[in-house]
């Protein structure tokens, strides 16, 4: 996918400027990849990297190969153009089924979301289509037992962590920042460069129903794309006299409170105020 | 790692890729190592590509290379603070002719060029920095990279690692660059809707314009500025000798900002969206700065060997030429069953001496000294010629003869007749 | 300073956090002995800033990897200059 | 994966906009909100959604439905009543022991069944970890369109479809997305972008019990435990609700303790500019900006930060930004909501003291925060 941080809208014409924007491996997927690699380090097994995209996406797959992935498949077909998340999940699920015909798939890892769409919908959609258990926003995998096909994960939520026990096969979307990425060795780089990447078109990915992919298979329609308008006003500055700093700060805090009442509620709870010391990890 | 290669090429710019491509076509097993995310991601140029050297390697490059525009118009401007006097050469090349110069975006061009080498069989590894040359005694036998198990061996190593050539410096092959031997260039790429850009420069289709500028904009420093048209963007930049930047203590981006604000450029640049700001050193030392070019098991090509013709602003073509010639030299030696000793590899230098590369560099070897010692070329003359033009062209009731006299007086006020004469001789000698 | 920062913002970088590829060998030399402090004026990315007490601060995040600082520090050779780790640092989109 | 960029705007919308709604789909009526709740209460985003649903339903001339589900009846009752007070006309209440604690499988099943039975035309969820998890599964099962992480909802006049606006390409662009020939039209909306509606206890609405056939034995995934701190001891600034960040204006490493104290008092984390990180004052993982982390906390306090664009892009979408800086012309004041021109070294400790005093006071008098808005 394109490196979204580099895309801008032209200020005059309003068109999207993506010239020279390189295709990069989705950084969120790097965390998913690292999680999969760690499992391979511990328990062995085979990892297949699967990517749907234009031919340039090959570079991302090659990077995955260099980091220790065994096989790489690029699902690429003009018929996919215009796919939204529903159509994309259909195509990916179908391709994963094809991979599964070569060898059973126990675990599917995806990033939390992509960086161009930021939707976070494709992974859960694929899980549903494959009838796999969905474990989203996973930040740790403390137990994975291949013999009993059982897995325990910590799932992040805004209010704390869920510890979930489930059965393989399952699809895991990995939270960012779960691990440091690795730096491939030179022999691995050379191996990855030489290894052929399999390119699957629609048929090879096992897709027969054309109404499920591309524009036809996409319920959502993009109406209009535009640049966000910049906030025009400057900060409301609190005026204060030399010896009135305390007063100014109190006034500021009043304003913060009015805008973010939940924060104050939290402070009055158990983990706020003086008791919240353990939260700051240095 | 255990695997051996016939050759290792360090760097995937035009020099390294030309060498790697030539070797691979000769049936060699080549490992090319690039530190950027992709070839071109660390490379900067104005950029004008001269077709000749590339054409020798890829005759049909015009059909597939990511070229921006072919130049139909070249302007040379001598800038005063507000005005400029200049020349324009325009020659619309017909569609079936083969243009000899194009504007390119290096990040895209280098990626394509490297792909050609890969198709020829070169094994290209990116995102890998070469830290050191590996030696056995005096002989270079391989390189050490920043990856684990990162030592790799080959019969010959070609250094194409650019102007800073960390390798050549560490290995003592080349001394540290002097501030007087390199120019620092800074550049911005500004984007426009294609039609608006074509309207501004009176061009259509793939036609392009290049403007080279000298004069007071460099504030007395030895340097030039440029403006090139790409397909949907303009490259605008300025470069001066690093020693001059050090003396004048002008931040390079300030100089560039001044250039962009010059009344001659501002209207051409307005409403552009700046998408990239780059800086790069350009070897300007010329013929005298060229280091030892080969030794036991190694050769040096492109910017790393200081191959830039600063007068004609040629570099990437010299890079391609030196890369190709280096590769041809080692291929010949191998075919003859001769080892890659310092003595045998000296044939590289001999072949270069016979090529346009060395002939041109020798020709202009005194230019920089002359400019360096005669700063008035860069400050006084631009002002004088601009003022002269203004005087002569203004219709204000003064008769033409008086105007001519005034012009001569103004020149004489700044330079004596003798000075004017010797300036002319110096320049003629330097560029001869 | 903010002028060059706005420019650098348009560039693409991959930061190797915690591994700056350029270091000042001895900050004391910059502060006490170097009178020129050319790095602060000439670095095209404004990576070097001159502090109120003549001290030099180096922030390599915006580095364009040109080599200027290394070459102009010819009097004291006080700059340790390496390329960033493979794949890190500035990544030109157009070059 | 979306291919929505790269092509000129308005590219595919126009062609399909005219298509008349399939009569089969016309029977879908009503705007629904899935109410996200647990033992700690209802996530505020659900009330924000009810406010938006009310407006959409009024425009469409239809009613607002709320789905409230859980494991035990007693705690659900008040949430159902609140849903009415916030704008629901009808609440679909489901109680089943399997629904105690959120899990994808039973909740997805419940929501799909309710949709199939009652056919709402619009279904809204919060763009939270729960809402995104559930919405994707439901949309895939129902094979309908889902627009994630919206910041604005409206009705497209021409098609009467939901026009959902969301940021894309890392927030560099916004796009409006329509779901034309599929129902329901689903969207998740980010918390705190929509205003919280007024709570009206006088409103009347119907609370309607819905049965579901679930059995714990059939559930593959079991909820073993709930941990109060999800990430454990892992530092993750992008998840922090409060960030107190400092820059070169703090002058030396030791002064970062002032930030730490305030962060502690607010239950937040310390962030820094790249200058402060490179000066070695703070760890690199706390760097915010172009080459560091992008954060979006509820409260961002910038102390001694001038606000170079490299830093601003990493924090400018924070909900509430407060800047403390000696230079009144510092660009940070252009992105901040509130500012104080002054020395952070003096003001930070005062703010810490104020916050601590507040926390203590709130505990003693039992401040009811939600009621005051």
CA distance A8 to chain C (A): 10
In this structure, what token pair is assigned to residue B340? 């890659």
Residue B91 resides in a domain:
no
Residues A184, A276: one domain? no
Tell me what pLDDT residue A21 has: 57
Under a CB-based contact definition with an 8 Å cutoff, are residues B9 and B31 in contact?
yes
Cβ pairs C/D, distance under 8 A:
37
Residues B340 and B320 in one domain: yes
Q: What pLDDT is attached to residue B41?
A: 95
Q: Which residue of C has its CA nearest to D288?
A: C17
Distance CA B336, CA B338 (A): 5
| Residue where a domain stops, chosen among B252, B283, B314 | B283
Residues A176 and A252 in one domain: no
Indicate if B203 and B276 belong to the same structural domain.
yes
CB-CB neighbors (< 8 A) of C61 in chain D = 274, 278, 291, 310
Spatial contact of B187 and B236, defined as CB atoms under 8 Å apart? yes
| Cβ–Cβ gap D308/C18 under 8 Å | no
Separation in Å, CA of B296 to nearest CA in chain A: 25
3-state secondary structure of B15: helix
Task: Give D196's pLDDT tier (boundaries 50, 70, 90).
Answer: confident
Query: H or E stretch including B154?
Result: strand B151-159
Least confident of A84-88, B360-364, D229-233, D357-361: D229-233
Same domain, B418 and B398: yes
Same domain membership, residue A172 and residue A66 = yes
Give me the DSSP letters along B225-286: EEEEE-SSEEEEEEEEEHHHHHHHT--HHHHHHHHHHSTTTHHHHTT-EEEEEEEEEEE--G
Which residues in chain B touch residue C68, judged by CB atoms under 8 angstroms apart?
184, 242, 245, 279, 281
For A265, the domain range is 245-281
Strand bridging mode B298-300 / B151-159 = parallel
* Smallest Cα distance from A190 to chain B, Å: 7
* Angle made by CA atoms A60, A66, A67, in degrees to the nearest 5: 95
**Residue A116 pLDDT:** 56
Q: How far apart are CA A159 and CA D191, in angstroms?
A: 14
Angle at C51 between CA C50 and CA C54, to 5 degrees: 80
Q: Does C34 touch chain B (CB under 8 A)?
A: no
Which CATH number characterizes residue B213's domain? Answer: 3.30.9.90
Say if CB D250 and CB D133 are below 8 A apart: no
For residue range B269-293, list pLDDT tens digits in order. 999 989 899 999 999 988 999 999 9
Does the pLDDT at position D6 exceed 50?
Answer: no
- Does a structural domain hold residue B88? no
- The closest alpha carbon to D168, from B371, A220, B424, B136, belongs to A220
- Asked if C91 lies within 8 A of A22 by C-beta distance, the reply is yes
Residues of C in Cβ contact (< 8 Å) with B162? none
Q: Is residue A274 part of a domain?
A: yes
Q: Same structural domain for residues A208 and A249? A: no
Contact between A181 and A24 (Cβ < 8 Å): no
Instruction: Decide if D173 contacts D111 (C-beta within 8 A).
Output: no
pLDDT tens across D249-260, in order? 998 889 999 999
Whether the CB of C91 is below 8 Å from some CB of chain A: the reply is: yes
Are B155 and B241 within one domain?
A: no
Contacting residues of C for D278, CB less than 8 Å apart:
20, 57-61
In whole angstroms, what is the distance from residue D82 CA to residue B427 CA?
A: 89
Count of residues in chain B: 432
Using CA atoms of D362, D368, D370, D371 in order, give the dihedral in degrees to the nearest 10.
Answer: -140
How many CB pairs below 8 A link A and D?
382
- Interface check C9 vs A, CB under 8 A: no
Give a yes or no: residue A228 inside a domain: no
Extract the residue ranges of chain B whose pLDDT is less than 50. none
* Residue A217 lies inside a defined structural domain of this protein: no
A129-143, A229-243, B197-211, B218-232, range with the lowest pLDDT:
A229-243
With contact defined as 3+ CB pairs under 8 Å, the chains touching A are B, C, D
**Which residue in chain A has the smallest CA separation from B152?**
A186
Domain boundary among A162, A188, A212: A212
C-alpha distance from C32 to closest chain D C-alpha (Å): 19
A220 domain residue, yes or no: no
- Shared domain for A30 and A124, answered yes or no, is yes
Structural domain includes residue B117: yes
Residues 270-309 of D with CB under 8 A from A: 270, 290, 298-299
Decide if B137 is inside a domain. Answer: yes
Chain C residues lying within 8 Å of B45, measured CB to CB: 95
Kindly state whether residues B122 and B48 are assigned to the same domain: yes
Q: Given an 8 Å threshold on Cβ–Cβ distance, is A19 in contact with C93?
A: yes
Question: A274: distance to nearest CA of chain B, Å?
Answer: 47
Contact residues, chain C, for D275 at CB < 8 Å:
57, 59
Report if residue A104 sits inside a domain. yes
Q: Return the structure tokens found at D33.
A: 């909100």
Does residue D16 carry a pLDDT above 80?
no
| The last residue of a domain, from among A158, A192, A212 | A212
Contact A9, B273 (CB under 8 A): no
Choose among B104, B99, B45: nearest CA to B72.
B99
Written as six digits, the tokens of A222 are: 């993009």
Specify the pLDDT at position A24: 63
pLDDT value at residue D370: 35
Question: Does residue A219 lie within any of the structural domains?
Answer: no
Is B141 part of a structural domain of the chain? yes
Integer Cα distance of B151 and B137 in angstroms:
17
Is A19 an 8 Å CB contact of chain C? yes
C–B touching, 3+ CB–CB pairs within 8 Å? yes
pLDDT for residue D88 is more than 80: yes
Q: Point out the domain boundary residue: A188, A212, A236.
A: A212
Q: Which two tokens stand for residue B81?
A: 């603070």
- Is B273's CB within 8 Å of A10's CB? yes
Residues B265 and B296 in one domain: no
Q: Which residue segment(s) compose the domain that B216 sits in?
A: 182-283
Nearest neighbour of C4 by CB, restricted to B44, B235, B253: B253
Residue B1 CA to residue B18 CA, distance in Å, equals: 26
Mean pLDDT of A82-109: 93
B216 and B121 in a common domain: no
* Closest-CA residue of chain D to C1: D308
For residue range D274-303, what is the model confidence (pLDDT) as tens digits?
Answer: 888 877 888 888 989 877 787 888 899 999
Name the domain count of chain B: 3
CATH number of the domain within which A15 lies: 3.40.50.620
How far is it between the farthest Cα atoms of chain B? 85
Least confident range of A134-143, B121-130, D179-188, D190-199:
D190-199
Residues B16 and B144 occupy one common structural domain: yes
- Is the confidence at residue D1, as pLDDT, over 50? no
Cis peptide before B310 (omega within 30 of 0): no
Nearest CA in chain A to C93: A20
Question: pLDDT of C16-59, one tens digit each?
Answer: 877 899 999 999 999 999 999 999 999 999 999 998 899 999 98
B near D: at least 3 beta-carbon pairs less than 8 Å apart: no
In 3-state terms, chain B is what percent helix, strand and coil (to 5)? 40, 25, 30
A196 touches chain B (CB under 8 A): no
B149 and B254, same domain (yes or no) = no
Measure CB to CB from residue C94 to each of A3, A20, A183 and give the nearest one.
A20
- Inform me whether the pLDDT recorded for A224 exceeds 90: no
> Distance, in angstroms, between B148 CA and closest chain A CA?
4
Helix axes B380-393, B400-414, angle to 10 degrees: 170
Which residues are paired to C45 by β-bridges? none
Single out the residue in B330, B354, B378 at which a domain terminates: B354
Number of domains in chain A: 2
Minimal CA–CA distance to D268: which of B259, C4, A267?
Answer: A267
pLDDT above 50 (res C83): yes
User: Which of C17, C93, C94 has the most A C-beta neighbours within 10 Å, making it the best mutation to test the interface with A?
Assistant: C93
Residue A270 pLDDT grade (very low, low, confident, very high; cuts 50, 70, 90): very low
Q: Are residues A189 and A90 in the same domain?
A: yes
Is A18 domain-assigned?
A: yes
Q: Minimal CA–CA distance to D271: which of C20, C14, D260, C16?
A: D260
Q: Which of B222, B255, B283 delimits the end of a domain?
A: B283
Same domain, yes or no, for A249 and A194? Answer: no
What residues contact A225, with CB distance under 8 A and at least 6 apart?
A9, A16, D4, D5, D9, D10, D168, D173, D174, D175, D176
Query: Same structural domain for residues A181 and A274?
Result: no
Instruction: Answer yes or no: do A104 and A170 share one domain.
Output: yes
With an 8 Å Cβ cutoff, the interface of chain D facing chain C consists of 274-275, 278-279, 284-285, 287, 290-292, 306, 308-310, 313, 331
Q: Does A6 touch chain C (CB under 8 A)?
A: yes
> Tokens for D281?
């004052």
Residue B264 sits in the same domain as residue B380 = no
In chain D the beta strands, taken as DSSP E runs, fall at 31-34, 37-38, 41-42, 64-70, 90-95, 122-126, 146-150, 152-155, 162-168, 173-179, 185-189, 206-209, 222-227, 242-246, 269-272, 299-303, 320-325, 338-341
Residues 6+ apart with CB under 8 A from B421: none
Residue A244's CB is within 10 A of a number of other CB atoms, namely 12
Does A205 lie in the same domain as A120? yes
D 167-186 → A contacts, CB under 8 A: 167-182
Return the H-helix or E-strand segment holding A89: helix A85-102
Judge whether B359 lies within some domain. Answer: no
CATH number (domain holding residue B54): 3.50.50.60
Is C66 in contact with B276 (Cβ distance < 8 A)? no
Asked whether residue B93 is domain-assigned, the answer is no
Q: How far apart, in whole angstroms, are the C-alpha atoms of residue A175 and residue D228? A: 17
Q: What phi and psi, each to the nearest 5 degrees, are found at residue A66?
A: -65, -30
The DSSP bridge partners found for residue D37 are: D42
Kindly state the helix (H) or strand (E) to which residue B8 belongs, with its residue range.
Answer: strand B4-10
**What is the ipTM for the molecules in this complex?**
0.82
SS3 state at C94: coil
One domain, residues B302 and B154: yes
pLDDT above 70 covers a percentage of chain D that reads: 88
pLDDT of residue D21: 72
A238 touches chain C (CB under 8 A): no
User: In this structure, are residues D108 and D125 in contact, taking their beta carbons and an 8 Å threshold?
Assistant: no
Residue B318 makes CB contacts below 8 A (sequence gap 6+) with B53, B302, B307, B308, B309, B357
Interface B–C counts its CB contacts (< 8 A) at 147
Residue A237 within a domain: no
Q: What is the pLDDT of residues D114-166, one digit of tens each?
A: 999 999 999 999 999 999 999 999 999 999 999 998 989 999 988 899 999 98
Nearest to A7 among D5, D156, D239 (CB): D5
**A-chain residue closest to D291, CA distance:** A5
How far is the C-alpha of C57 from the C-alpha of B28, rounded, in Å?
Answer: 48
Decide if B393 is inside a domain. yes
**B207: three-class secondary structure by DSSP:** strand
At residue A16, does pLDDT exceed 80?
A: no
Residues A166 and A274 in one domain: no
Check whether residue B147 and residue B226 sit in a common domain: no
Residue A64 and residue A184 in one domain: yes
Predicted local distance difference test score (pLDDT) of residue B327? 98
């Amino acid at each position: 996918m394109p490196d979204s941080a580099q895309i801008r809208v032209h200020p005059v014409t309003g068109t999207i400027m993506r010239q020279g924007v390189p295709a990069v491996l989705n950084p969120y997927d790097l965390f998913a990849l690292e999680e999969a690699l760690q499992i391979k380090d511990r328990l062995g097994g085979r990892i297949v990297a699967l990517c749907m995209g234009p031919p340039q996406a090959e570079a991302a797959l090659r990077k995955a190969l260099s980091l220790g992935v065994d096989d790489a498949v690029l699902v690429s077909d003009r018929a996919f153009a215009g796919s939204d998340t529903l159509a994309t999940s259909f195509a990916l699920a179908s391709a994963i089924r094809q991979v599964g015909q070569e060898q059973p798939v126990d675990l599917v890892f995806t990033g939390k979301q992509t960086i161009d769409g930021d939707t976070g919908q494709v992974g859960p959609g694929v899980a549903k289509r494959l009838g796999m258990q969905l474990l989203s926003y996973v930040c740790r995998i403390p137990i994975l037992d291949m013999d009993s096909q059982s897995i325990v994960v910590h799932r992040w939520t805004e209010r704390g962590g869920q510890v979930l026990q489930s059965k393989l096969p399952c699809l895991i979307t990995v939270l960012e920042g779960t691990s440091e990425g690795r730096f491939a060795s030179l022999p691995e780089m050379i191996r990855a460069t030489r290894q052929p990447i399999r390119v699957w078109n629609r048929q090879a990915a096992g897709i027969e129903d054309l109404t499920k992919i591309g524009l036809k298979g996409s319920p959502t329609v993009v109406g209009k794309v535009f640049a966000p308008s910049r906030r025009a006003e400057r900060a409301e500055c609190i005026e204060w006299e030399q010896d009135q700093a305390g007063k100014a700060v109190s006034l500021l805090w009043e304003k913060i409170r009015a805008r973010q009442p939940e924060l104050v509620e939290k402070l009055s709870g158990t983990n706020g105020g003086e008791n919240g010391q353990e939260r700051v990890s240095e | 790692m255990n695997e051996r290669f016939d050759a290792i090429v360090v760097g995937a710019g035009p020099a390294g890729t030309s060498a790697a491509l030539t070797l691979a076509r000769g049936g060699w097993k080549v490992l090319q190592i690039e530190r950027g995310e992709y070839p071109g991601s660390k490379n900067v140029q104005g950029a004008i590509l001269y077709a000749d050297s590339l054409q020798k390697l890829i005759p049909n490059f015009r059909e597939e290379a990511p070229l921006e525009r072919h130049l139909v118009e070249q302007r040379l401007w001598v800038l005063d603070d507000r005005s400029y006097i200049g020349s324009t050469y325009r020659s619309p090349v017909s569609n079936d002719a083969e243009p000899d110069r194009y504007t390119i975006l290096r990040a895209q061009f280098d990626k394509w060029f490297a792909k050609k080498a890969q198709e020829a069989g070169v094994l290209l590894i990116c995102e890998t920095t070469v830290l050191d040359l590996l030696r056995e005694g005096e002989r270079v036998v391989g390189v050490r990279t920043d990856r684990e198990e990162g030592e790799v061996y080959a019969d010959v190593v070609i250094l194409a690692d650019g102007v800073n050539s960390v390798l050549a410096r560490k290995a003592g092959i080349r001394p540290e660059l002097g501030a007087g031997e390199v120019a620092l260039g800074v550049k911005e790429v500004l984007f426009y809707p294609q039609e608006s850009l074509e309207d501004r420069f009176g061009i259509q289709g793939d036609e392009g314009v290049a403007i080279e500028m000298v004069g007071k904009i460099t504030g007395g420093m030895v340097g030039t500025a440029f403006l090139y048209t790409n397909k949907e963007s303009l490259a605008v930049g300025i470069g001066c000798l690093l020693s001059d930047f050090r003396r004048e203590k002008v931040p390079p981006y300030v100089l560039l900002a001044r250039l962009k604000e010059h009344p001659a450029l501002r209207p051409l640049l307005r409403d552009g969206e700046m998408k990239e700001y780059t800086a790069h050193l350009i070897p300007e030392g010329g013929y005298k700065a060229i280091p030892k070019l080969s030794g036991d098991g190694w050769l040096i090509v492109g910017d790393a060997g200081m191959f830039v013709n600063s007068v004609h602003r040629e570099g990437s073509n010299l890079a391609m030429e030196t890369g190709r010639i280096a590769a041809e030299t080692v291929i010949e030696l191998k075919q003859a069953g001769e080892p890659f000793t310092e003595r045998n590899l000296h044939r590289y230098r001999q072949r270069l001496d016979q090529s346009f590369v060395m002939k041109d560099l020798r020709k202009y070897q005194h230019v920089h000294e002359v400019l360096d010692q005669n700063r008035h070329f860069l400050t006084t003359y631009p002002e004088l010629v601009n003022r002269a033009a203004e005087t002569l062209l203004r219709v204000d009731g003064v008769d033409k003869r008086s105007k001519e006299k005034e012009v001569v007086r103004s020149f004489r006020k700044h330079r004596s007749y003798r000075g004017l004469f010797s300036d002319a001789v110096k320049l003629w000698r330097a560029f001869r | 300073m903010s002028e060059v920062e706005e420019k650098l913002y348009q560039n693409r970088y991959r930061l190797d956090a915690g591994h700056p590829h350029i270091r000042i060998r001895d900050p004391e030399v910059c502060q006490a002995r170097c009178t020129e402090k050319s790095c602060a004026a000439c670095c095209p990315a404004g990576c070097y800033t001159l502090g109120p007490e003549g001290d030099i601060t180096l922030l390599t995040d915006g580095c364009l990897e040109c080599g200027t600082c290394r070459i102009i520090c010819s009097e004291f050779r006080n700059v340790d200059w390496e390329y960033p780790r493979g794949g890190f640092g500035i990544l030109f989109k157009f070059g | 994966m979306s291919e929505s960029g790269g092509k000129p705007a308005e590219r595919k919308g126009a062609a399909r906009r005219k298509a008349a709604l399939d009569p089969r789909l016309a029977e879908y009526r009503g705007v629904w909100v899935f109410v996200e709740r647990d033992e700690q209460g209802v996530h505020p985003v659900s009330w924000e959604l009810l406010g938006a649903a009310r407006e959409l339903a009024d425009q469409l001339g239809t009613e607002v439905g709320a789905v409230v589900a859980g494991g035990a009846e007693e705690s659900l009752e008040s949430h159902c009543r609140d849903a009415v007070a916030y704008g629901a006309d009808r609440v679909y209440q489901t109680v089943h022991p399997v629904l105690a604690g959120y899990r994808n499988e039973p909740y997805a099943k419940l929501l799909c069944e309710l949709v199939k039975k009652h056919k709402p035309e619009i279904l809204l969820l919060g763009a939270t970890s729960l809402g995104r998890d559930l919405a994707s599964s439901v949309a895939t099962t129902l094979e309908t369109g889902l627009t994630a992480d919206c910041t604005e909802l409206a009705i497209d006049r021409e098609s009467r479809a939901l026009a959902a606006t969301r940021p894309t390409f890392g927030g560099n662009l916004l796009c409006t997305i329509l779901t034309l020939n599929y129902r329901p039209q689903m969207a998740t909306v980010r918390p705190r972008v929509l205003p919280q509606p007024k709570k009206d206890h006088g409103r009347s609405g119907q609370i309607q019990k819905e049965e579901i056939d679930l059995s714990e034995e059939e559930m593959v995934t079991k909820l073993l435990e709930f941990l109060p701190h999800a990430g454990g001891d892992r530092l993750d600034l992008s998840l922090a609700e409060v960030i107190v960040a400092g820059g070169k204006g703090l002058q030396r490493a030791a002064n970062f303790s002032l930030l730490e104290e305030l962060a502690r008092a607010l239950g937040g984390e310390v962030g820094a500019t790249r200058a402060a990180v490179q000066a070695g004052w703070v760890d690199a993982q706390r760097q915010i900006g172009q080459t560091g982390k992008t954060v979006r906390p509820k409260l961002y306090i910038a102390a001694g930060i001038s606000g170079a664009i490299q830093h601003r892009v990493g924090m400018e979408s924070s909900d509430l930004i407060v800047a403390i800086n000696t230079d009144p012309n510092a660009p940070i004041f252009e992105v901040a909501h509130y500012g104080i021109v002054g020395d952070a070294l003096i003001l930070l400790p005062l703010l810490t003291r104020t916050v601590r005093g507040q926390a203590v006071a709130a505990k003693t008098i039992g401040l009811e925060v939600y009621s005051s808005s």
